[in-house]
Chains A and B, each alone.
Chain A
């Protein structure tokens, strides 16, 4: 994938807890091209948020660290190991991130207009007037009504959906090439979520963005993803084109997940819950992370950790029971 905007190889992130280093992310590979939305799906403890934070260089230190063999390349440029001031120039400029809870991600003491303008002043050297004008354009772009007036308002004066739009405006002010979205609609009402998802989709097409969309909601994935990477216990267990993933899920976790989600469009009276609990960091055995909950687990699964193997065009699965295609 030579035109990959983001290319991650062997990313491993560890955390220090109780005197030991535990892996939160255990060696993942992924790439995102221009104009593509990659959905990273996982539950708590899957390592999905940490993956995004690693790209931004925001892994909390000193408790956490990116393992040295990791590689994160943005347009071919290696980000791991870059000094902080270099990362500062990239953050908000070439890569931007939006978060789940806009109230805490926005500064409550700065007007919304000032916050959108801030990255323009920092990264593009705009002066006050230029930055304000551009900020107004961005707020219009994300469809904040009466943007001119509302620029002078503070975050608490906006609803959740509006704040999320403001955050998107901030993120895109410098026209980054990569957008990381960490559960951006999870805290929003369903109808507002639909609006924000539409907005992200429109902006992606308009700016030719590469989007990493992190979520635990497979319904949202079906709406917006081109490709999907399913994460469990710190690693990618399945990767596929979105339609393929839903039509023919291959990894037992993906299958179990799809079978256990109640759907509004079907009378699925028989829900199949997944037994057991999501493993916590530091509680992983030697074998496959999902083995303890997998209905198909064999002896080998508990002992050896499977590798991520290709399983057809644009597909990969990490499971001993899914062999290479015949």
Chain B
């Protein structure tokens, strides 16, 4: 049977910016022709810097942002053209956790109201069982049951994030999309939330799409990782492989620039060239070629396709492909 919980095929999303009455808006390609799969009970990390499109992609998967092209197949079902009502039934199974713990909870609703609402709207639980479900949900994320009557502003960032996780899990989803869930938390609290996510994943057999700019966090949480640059996936593969032996020039730069709390790192400040280009004005061919130390003439003319390299790895780079003579996927 199908081992993938999610399969994305050639997903694209563009935004229109700055249209006026008689001036056509500019088109910004946020996500360009992205394809990947997430295996059941596995986690995929999505890493990249500003403008790479990872957050937009994450939202497209749940159709919080409508994709412009491509297919999203979730649990064998094509989500792309589902109507509102059918989509609603699917929403139970795929949920999202956000970055900002302060903005992700309605400040005017108690924790109980926030957690009860999805249960009531979907009618999955009898009214008499709602309270016990809420209690169980809070306990599962390590919060006391009597927190249910409090308001969000009474909690710390880490606690709010836990409430957000409880809300995401209360409908028993099978896929969680996490958009930078620990980036806004204090360092000493990040590990708490990561550990919680780990535990929950194991216990419930969840699949996870984890968006982050922090490679260290992704290494800890994810089985596989996809590296994005200006709307495209440039490299994909098992986490230890990608981070210990990066192939794509951008991945190498990203990896080298990621700080590590190791005193020997002192003299290893990498020399990084150039700025991240704006999505409004992307370079021709391979988007990374202006900053790439190994750029060939071909790189400015054609965009390389994401190609299998063996060992579950994929890279979109002419040089790497030529060196390892891989086959196009």
Contacts and interface: CB of A to CB of B under 8 A. Distances in A.
Interface of A: 43-44, 159-162, 189-195, 197-198, 201, 216-224, 242-243, 245-247, 256-258, 260-269, 271-275, 277-278, 293
Interface string B127-158: 00000000000000000000000000000101
A260 B266 contact: no
A277 B189 contact: yes
B9 interface: no
A273 B275 contact: no
Given A191-B257, A193-B257, A265-B243, A243 B191 contact: no
B261 interface: yes
Nearest to A158: B275
- The majority secondary structure among interface residues of chain A is helix
A190 B263 contact: no
Contacts, number: 149
B258 A278 contact: no
A72 to B, nearest CB: 27
A189 B260 CA distance: 15
Contacts of B255: 264
25 contacts: A43-B187, A190-B257, A190-B258, A190-B259, A191-B272, A191-B276, A192-B49, A192-B276, A197-B269, A216-B186, A216-B187, A218-B187, A222-B259, A222-B263, A242-B266, A246-B262, A246-B263, A260-B188, A261-B191, A261-B261, A263-B216, A264-B215, A274-B188, A277-B156, A277-B189
Contacts of B214: 262
A223 B256 CA distance: 12
What bracket does the count of chain B residues touching chain A fall in? Answer: 35 or more
B213 A190 contact: yes
Contacts of A256: 188
B257 A219 contact: no
B194 interface: yes
Contact of A268 (B220, B244, B257): B220
B271 A198 contact: yes
Given A191-B254, A194-B270, A256-B188, A264 B260 contact: yes
B219 interface: yes
B251 to A, nearest CB: 11
B195 interface: yes
A213 B207 CA distance: 40
A264 B258 contact: yes
Given A222-B265, A271-B220, 20 more contacts: A43-B188, A159-B276, A159-B278, A191-B257, A191-B272, A194-B256, A218-B261, A219-B216, A219-B259, A219-B261, A222-B260, A222-B262, A224-B269, A242-B263, A257-B188, A260-B191, A261-B261, A263-B261, A265-B262, A267-B219
B220 A262 contact: yes
Interface string B192-231: 1011000000000000000001111111110000000000
| Overall SS of chain B's interface | helix
The 4 closest A-B pairs by CB, nearest first: A219-B259, A273-B191, A262-B220, A189-B49
Contacts of A216: 186-187
Contacts of B215: 190, 264
Nearest to A265: B260
Nearest to B269: A198
A272 B195 CA distance: 8
A91 to B, nearest CB: 29
B25 interface: no
B165 to A, nearest CB: 15
A290 to B, nearest CB: 10
Nearest to B155: A277
B191 A194 contact: no
Contacts of A257: 187-188
A247 B263 contact: yes
Contact of B261 (A159, A221, A271): A221
A223 B216 contact: no
A201 B269 contact: yes
B192 A44 contact: no
B162 to A, nearest CB: 12
B261 A222 contact: yes
A186 B186 CA distance: 13
Contacts of A278: 156, 186, 188-189
Contact of A189 (B266, B270, B276): B276
B253 interface: yes
B195 A271 contact: yes
Given A264-B216, A265-B260, A273 B276 contact: no
A197 B256 CA distance: 13
Contacts of A189: 49-50, 213, 276
Interface core residue of B244, B259, B262, B275 (most chain A CB under 10 Å): B259
A264 B243 contact: yes
Nearest to A261: B261
